[in-house]
Amino acid sequence: MAVVLLILGAACMAISPVFVRNADVGSFTSAFWRALTSLPLLALWAGLELRAARRRPAKAPKKPLDHRAVVLAGVFFAGDLAFWHLAIMHTTIANATFFACLAPLWVALLSQVTIGESVSKRTFGGLAVCVPGAALLIVHSDGGTGSPLGDVFGLITSLFFGLYFLAMRRARGGSGAGTTTLLSTVITVAVLFPVALVSDDALLPHSLSGALNLAALGIVSHAGGQGLLSVALGVLSAAFSSLVIFIEAVAAAAFGWIFAGEALGPTQIVGGSLILLGIFFARPRRVATVS
């Protein structure tokens, strides 16, 4: 069940470029609104979570909330969003998503030293299959072309996203998914607001369509995508969870074809198939119940 939720979360995040390109605001402003507009739904989720926890008899004391991990998750995700939205505006959807999807490389390298979580050989094997699969996804997309600057932004995005996975995995040990996502998002909003204020011309969209796209960005891509990711990180390792995010590249290529007219051919189908094969190979043999 956790893997299914993770896949759904990846799909929710994958459609975000479509919303960003139609948001009618600057890159940093759209990142700020993505986090801000998700807060009401996340607050409702956290409230229901707290209410349910009070009704359940306490079987065992839970670990206290790791406030430092929550703050770091919020800061790292702010960096991820800022550079992700810059990448979207400066290169193709597929290119931006490919470089952002390299986050599992950082997670695999840093997991042991940062959160003391070892990475299995199966996960490394899945990663070795997923990376070339993701590369194939962009070979035929717009001829595989894109702005070098935008591609660099995408690579920086992957570092921040990888660090976010590690921090959120640690944070989920002491609180529910809704509460953890809400608190980290508040930090993200606080970091992105002054950035958007200084960097972009206006904070408000110029059209109803832009406003609706910003709302969808917050509800679908953030509350839905990050929320489901947080649920999965409560039971799945950071390394495997980040690996499943490669599905975001598959979904983004499809969304780019449907909504932006970016080419989708046999090469991309092969690449997507390799990603699915790599994830299947790396899947954990046993998964605990989601919480």
Spatial CB neighbours of 289, under 8 Å, sequence gap ≥ 6: 1, 235
Q: Which of 156-165, 184-193, 201-210 has the lowest mean pLDDT?
A: 201-210
Lowest mean pLDDT among 24-38, 88-102, 181-195: 88-102
pLDDT score of 238: 83
| pLDDT band, residue 139 (cuts 50/70/90) | low
- pLDDT number for residue 172: 83
Positive or negative torsion for Cα 22, 23, 29, 31: negative
The C-alpha atoms of residue 70 and residue 76 are separated, in whole angstroms, by 10
Q: Among the listed ranges 15-29, 82-96, 246-260, which one has the minimum average pLDDT value?
A: 246-260
Provide, rounded to the nearest whole percent, the portion of the chain with pLDDT above 90.
25
Q: pLDDT class for 174, splitting at 50, 70, 90?
A: low
- Domain extents for the chain? 2-52+65-282
Residue 265 has phi, psi (to 5 degrees) of: -130, -170
Whole-number pLDDT of residue 41: 95
How far is 74 from 32, CA to CA, in rounded Å? 12
Per-residue pLDDT of 213-226, as tens digits, reads 999 999 999 999 89
Q: Which of 40-44, 169-173, 177-181, 212-216 has the lowest mean pLDDT?
A: 169-173
Using the predicted structure, report yes or no on whether residue 206 has a pLDDT greater than 80: yes
Predicted local distance difference test score (pLDDT) of residue 138:
63
Radius of gyration of the chain (CA): 18
User: In degrees rounded to 5, what are phi and psi of residue 99?
Assistant: -65, -40
Mean pLDDT of the chain: 82
In the prediction, which pLDDT does 23 show? 84
Per-residue pLDDT averaged across 252-262, rounded? 68
**34 neighbors 41 (Cβ within 8 angstroms):** no
pLDDT at 142 over 70: no
Q: How far apart are the first and last CA of the chain?
A: 11
Q: Comparing 22-26, 92-96, 259-263, which segment has the lowest mean pLDDT? A: 259-263
The answer to whether 95 and 154 have CB atoms below 8 angstroms apart is: yes
Task: Give pLDDT, residue 8.
Answer: 85
Q: What is the mean pLDDT of residues 55-77?
A: 80
Residue 249: closest CA among 124, 34, 92, 22: 92
With a CB cutoff of 8 Å and minimum separation 6, the contacts of 141 are 92, 93, 94, 95, 253, 256, 262, 263, 264, 268
Specify the pLDDT at position 94. Answer: 67
**CB 202, CB 25: distance < 8 Å:** yes
Q: What is the mean predicted confidence (pLDDT) over 193-205?
A: 84
Q: Which two tokens stand for residue 262?
A: 């970016």
At 72 the pLDDT is 95
Q: Mean of the pLDDT values across residues 45-74?
A: 81
Consecutive H or E run containing 111? helix 103-115
Across 9-13, 34-38, 54-58, 96-100, least confident range: 54-58
Determine the Cα–Cα distance for residues 223 and 212; give it in Å rounded to an integer.
15
Most confident of 9-13, 162-166, 169-173: 162-166
Provide the pLDDT confidence category of residue 78 given band limits of 50, 70 and 90. very high
Q: Give the pLDDT confidence score for residue 102 in this predicted structure.
A: 85
